[in-house]
Structure 1
């Protein structure tokens, strides 16, 4: 193997060249039935490419076949735990290493768990960009893509020694397990947030010592709702700068978890002076009102220290608390991130041709608020902690997924 085809990342102690092999020489490769058996209400699952995804095998939308059809298909291509299957028609790929086997397959490639190639290594290789590029060159069909069984058998892949396969496969499997655990934790936190939102805001759950009923207020009474400047001085793409004093928000800067400043664009001080509405004050909330609807971010002191001057774009609204309102900002933030936006959008207040949140209609939305500031603060703080945990776990998951992507791009040839 030529030097330039060496993997960029290898474990210490391995420097032998990888060997080129035909996939069909190192694996028994079959495919599922190409017939269309009669489906039945109850029976054995018949797995097709639609049941394969990045997360593995998904049987939530599977069709069922009779026992006789199941036995007939399995004479041709019985699946076992440890085998690999991937889509051959329509969606090519989405390989899955099987941990169950009580189903039959149709139009799906089957790579048996045999030969000199470890399936724990092979499953990672099949998910790599290297293999995706290889198969994309070999697919046929216009309206519906497919890759033939003989084409798969004749694919030439670069393979390391058994020892290196075991180490790579085990390492990437561990990485996948850590990612899956973080995904599970993140989903648990989101479910907890949803439960707390439901129980606390309908006042089914109350903090000890608080029994007074909550009062209902219109958002227009609580906030001064401000549009961004949409006049003739509104900046064009040519006005944006890579750095400067005045950050000009893009819709991507306001996510479900608050502000995100991975991408930034600025306007000049001169352009800033030409604009009227739309500049943030500390304590303002920003709401995305066009395109991506209902994301909320809070402009607090910590963010203002990093970005002292920020303007919203025309697809956002500023919610500026009226000075007469002695309300907890933490409570208001948790309320705005709750069901209030979803309910507003569900009640068809978002326009038709171009969905958007109108300032006039949004000001009429009613919000239930505890009468005592102390209860507001307690509610706000519990949700602030949940928001922080969700954001931290999301960042960790993003970093892990970026690491896995980097490894997959650099550990195979």
Structure 2
């Protein structure tokens, strides 16, 4: 690839051998149809005819989501005008998803498209993959933002999509660019599937490696462990702590600080190694610096409407008043096991200890201290904790790889399109 910056209709990065400026064309000059979809309700999937609606297009990947397939609810034979074929691109025409696009692939099978979508068929003069990738650029997003403005809900009609101005290179260059992004999308999809499989595996193993109901025996155990799990109160196997907010009117509490200070917005993953705000030694003077391995739980925040955030500290940290700290007693409880216990019981704990009717959602932590846990021996706890820590690490690696690939794609969309 070579870098170019001079001409207005020349991208920053191009494949070697392409030097001509791009030409601006209307989408309607290289595509035809611009037809509205089938006006029919969705019914259970009949095993043959797939029905694609706006909600079936994945917001991130723009692929046809096949986890909840449906068929058009029509008794009579369906007009094949609504049957998608290669070269077809769908455009969402109304509502919050206006502008969302989807490129049909033969691998998606026999697919009909619904009425809130507009179908354009790309001619042989252009590459459908290139046109589709053009709809993921900032230029296209600006077109949607400006064109969709209505007195009611946002919308873009067929004629307006047809009038969309697109800078186009030669057909050969379009094909090279389209193929490049197709390979990149395949790589992203591959890592997304690996990530999803690992998340499903973890959910399944949490369900099977912790006892269900009133049982004292999990469904799956490591070899050599056969004893029943024992019941203990949380307060018997851990100590607890908290914190507060240093005075914000005193800049000496914050400016130039390097002491980690955990707030509810920091507990977004299960392993916490950084905070949005750091405080100074002066700001931390009246706070406890909790050790690496301690657990932090959000006990007061709007996020408690949906989930109970818990994390393990990867570095010594202080906390504010919305966080409670759990310090497992090393001779009784493995912190990594306890973290997975909280993850496995997240929804149940929120239902049992969440406070309702208060101004801000909160958790009754004083009651949580008295809750009964079913626990295996310390050695079994350590094995379980280590297993899930390794699994979490693998999940994080795939998540970071996905983020990297998505960032690469975003950057290349910016630089390979005008």
The TM-score bracket by the shorter chain reads 0.7 to 0.9
**Which deviations, in whole Å up to 9, do the C-alpha atoms of 1:366-412 show, x marking residues without a partner?**
221113x2222211111111111111111111111111122222221
Change (3 A) 1:403 1:242: farther
Instruction: Measure, in 2, the Cα distance between the counterparts of 1:215 and 1:37.
Output: 57
Instruction: Measure, in 1, the Cα distance between the counterparts of 2:279 and 2:42.
Output: 61
TM-score (norm 1): 0.86
8 Å CA contact retained: 1:259, 1:298: yes
Does residue 330 in structure 1 map to residue 344 in structure 2? no
8 Å CA contact retained: 1:81, 1:101: no
Change (3 A) 1:226 1:167: same
1:97 matched residue in structure 2: 103
Q: 2:137 aligns with which of 116, 124, 128?
A: 128
2:88 matched residue in structure 1: 83
8 Å CA contact retained: 1:52, 1:87: no
Q: What's the RMSD between the two structures over aligned residues?
A: 2.7
Does residue 57 in structure 1 map to residue 64 in structure 2? yes
Structure 1 range deviating more: 54-63 or 134-143 = 54-63
8 Å CA contact retained: 2:86, 2:104: yes
Deviation at 1:38, TM superposition (A): 7.0
Q: 1:312 aligns with which of 319, 343, 353?
A: 319
Deviation at 1:149, TM superposition (A): 1.4
What secondary structure is seen at the aligned counterpart in 2 of 1:93?
coil
Deviation at 1:39, TM superposition (A): 6.9
2:367 matched residue in structure 1: 361
Deviation at 1:312, TM superposition (A): 0.9
Q: 2:121 aligns with which of 112, 126, 129?
A: 112
Deviation at 1:40, TM superposition (A): 6.6
Q: 1:66 aligns with which of 74, 85, 88?
A: 74
Instruction: Measure, in 2, the Cα distance between the counterparts of 1:39 and 1:284.
Output: 50
Deviation at 1:88, TM superposition (A): 1.1
2:261 matched residue in structure 1: 248
Deviation at 1:334, TM superposition (A): 2.6
Instruction: Measure, in 2, the Cα distance between the counterparts of 1:42 and 1:12.
Output: 47
Change (3 A) 1:41 1:237: farther
Deviation at 1:58, TM superposition (A): 3.9
1:220 matched residue in structure 2: 235
Structure 1 range deviating more: 131-140 or 166-175 = 131-140
2:296 matched residue in structure 1: 286
8 Å CA contact retained: 1:46, 1:65: no
TM-score (norm 2): 0.85
What secondary structure is seen at the aligned counterpart in 2 of 1:137?
helix
Q: How many residues align?
A: 394
What secondary structure is seen at the aligned counterpart in 2 of 1:57?
coil
8 Å CA contact retained: 2:40, 2:72: no
Change (3 A) 1:110 1:242: farther
2:22 matched residue in structure 1: 18
Instruction: Measure, in 1, the Cα distance between the counterparts of 2:179 and 2:185.
Output: 10
Instruction: Measure, in 2, the Cα distance between the counterparts of 1:252 and 1:400.
Output: 26
8 Å CA contact retained: 2:92, 2:116: yes
1:3 matched residue in structure 2: 7
Q: 1:182 aligns with which of 175, 191, 196?
A: 191
Q: 1:260-275, aligned counterparts within 5 Å? A: 260-261=273-274, 264-273=276-285, 275=286
Q: 2:31 aligns with which of 21, 27, 30?
A: 27
**Which deviations, in whole Å up to 9, do the C-alpha atoms of 1:199-230 show, x marking residues without a partner?**
11111112222111111111111222222226
2:397 matched residue in structure 1: 392
Structure 1 range deviating more: 240-249 or 149-158 = 240-249
Deviation at 1:348, TM superposition (A): 5.0
8 Å CA contact retained: 2:256, 2:280: no
Deviation at 1:187, TM superposition (A): 1.1
Instruction: Measure, in 2, the Cα distance between the counterparts of 1:237 and 1:412.
Output: 49
2:214 matched residue in structure 1: none
